[in-house]
Structure 1
Amino acid sequence: METSLTGPVGSALSTRWGARPVVMVGGILTSLGFVFSAFAGSLLHLYLGLGVLAGSGWALVFAPALGTVSRYFSRRRVFAVGLALMGNGASSLLLAPALQLLLDTFGWRGALLLLGAITLHLTPCGALLRPLELPGDPPAPPRGPLAALGLDLFAHRAFLVFALGTVLIAGGYFVPYVHLAPHALDRGLGGYRAALVVAVAAVADASARLVCGWLADQGWVPLPRLLAVFGALTGLGLLAVGLVPVVGSEEGWGGSLLAVAGAYGLSAGCFTPLVFGVLPGLVGIGGVVQATGLVMMLMSLGGLLGPPLSGFLRDETGDFTASFLVCGSLVLSGSFIYMGLPGAVPSCSRASPPATPPPERGELLPIPQVALLSSGAPHSTQEATC
Structure 2
Amino acid sequence: MKDGLAGSRPQLVDSRYAWLRLGVALLLTTVGSVGMWSYVVVLPAVQADFGIARADATFPYTMCMVGFAAGNALLGRLADRYGIIAAVLLGIACLGMGYVGAGLAPNMTILSLAHVLIGLGAAASFAPMIADISHWFLRRRGIAVAIAASGNYFAGAIWPPVIQHFTSAAGWRPTHIGIGLFCVVAMLPLSLMFRQRTVMLETPLEGAGFRAPNLGISQNALFVLLCIAGVACCVAMAMPQVHIVAYCGDLGYGVARGAEMLSIMLIGGIFSRIASGFIADKVGGVMTMLIGSFMQAVALALYFFFDGLTSLYLISLLFGLFQGGIVPSYAIIIREYFPPKEAGSRVGTVIMATVFGMALGGWMSGWIFDLTGSYRIAFLNGLAWNLLNLAIAIWLLRAGGRPKPAMA
Common fold: TM-score over 0.5? yes
> 1:173–1:191: structure 2 CA closer, same or farther, 3 Å change rule?
closer
Instruction: Indicate if the aligned counterparts of 1:154 and 1:160 stay in contact, CA closer than 8 A.
Output: no
> 1:64–1:233: structure 2 CA closer, same or farther, 3 Å change rule?
same
Question: CA offset at residue 165 of structure 1?
Answer: 1.5
2:305 corresponds to 1:243: yes
2:236 corresponds to 1:172: yes
What is the SS of the residue equivalent to 2:200?
coil
- Residue of structure 2 equivalent to 1:4: 69
- CA–CA distance in 2 between the matches of 1:200 and 1:133? 36
- Residue of structure 2 equivalent to 1:15: 80
Q: Map residues 212-361 of structure 1 onto 2, 5 A cutoff.
A: 212-217=276-281, 219=282, 221-245=283-307, 253-341=308-396, 344-345=397-398, 353-355=403-405, 357-359=406-408
Instruction: Indicate if the aligned counterparts of 1:208 and 1:267 stay in contact, CA closer than 8 A.
Output: yes
Which one-letter code corresponds to 1:279 in the other structure? I
> 1:110–1:241: structure 2 CA closer, same or farther, 3 Å change rule?
closer
- CA–CA distance in 1 between the matches of 2:403 and 2:354? 29
Compute the RMSD of aligned alpha carbons: 3.0
Instruction: Indicate if the aligned counterparts of 1:313 and 1:322 stay in contact, CA closer than 8 A.
Output: yes
Which one-letter code corresponds to 1:33 in the other structure? G
- Residue of structure 2 equivalent to 1:132: 198
Which one-letter code corresponds to 1:64 in the other structure? P
What is the SS of the residue equivalent to 2:324?
helix
TM-score when normalising by structure 1: 0.75
Which one-letter code corresponds to 1:132 in the other structure? T
- CA–CA distance in 2 between the matches of 1:189 and 1:38? 27
- CA–CA distance in 2 between the matches of 1:171 and 1:112? 26
Instruction: Indicate if the aligned counterparts of 2:245 and 2:257 stay in contact, CA closer than 8 A.
Output: no
Instruction: Indicate if the aligned counterparts of 2:91 and 2:124 stay in contact, CA closer than 8 A.
Output: yes
- CA–CA distance in 1 between the matches of 2:250 and 2:286? 38
Question: CA offset at residue 126 of structure 1?
Answer: 2.9
- CA–CA distance in 2 between the matches of 1:47 and 1:316? 23
The farther-off stretch of 118-127 and 323-332 is 118-127
- CA–CA distance in 2 between the matches of 1:229 and 1:24? 36
Long gaps (5+) in structure 2: 1-64, 209-216
Question: CA offset at residue 61 of structure 1?
Answer: 4.2
Question: CA offset at residue 176 of structure 1?
Answer: 0.4
- Residue of structure 2 equivalent to 1:76: 140
Instruction: Indicate if the aligned counterparts of 1:186 and 1:319 stay in contact, CA closer than 8 A.
Output: no
Long gaps (5+) in structure 1: 140-152, 246-252, 360-386
> 1:166–1:31: structure 2 CA closer, same or farther, 3 Å change rule?
same
Question: CA offset at residue 46 of structure 1?
Answer: 3.6
What is the SS of the residue equivalent to 1:74?
coil
- Residue of structure 2 equivalent to 1:381: none
Instruction: Indicate if the aligned counterparts of 1:235 and 1:330 stay in contact, CA closer than 8 A.
Output: no
TM-score when normalising by structure 2: 0.71
> Which is higher, the Rg of structure 1 or of structure 2?
1
> 1:185–1:207: structure 2 CA closer, same or farther, 3 Å change rule?
same
> 1:132–1:229: structure 2 CA closer, same or farther, 3 Å change rule?
same
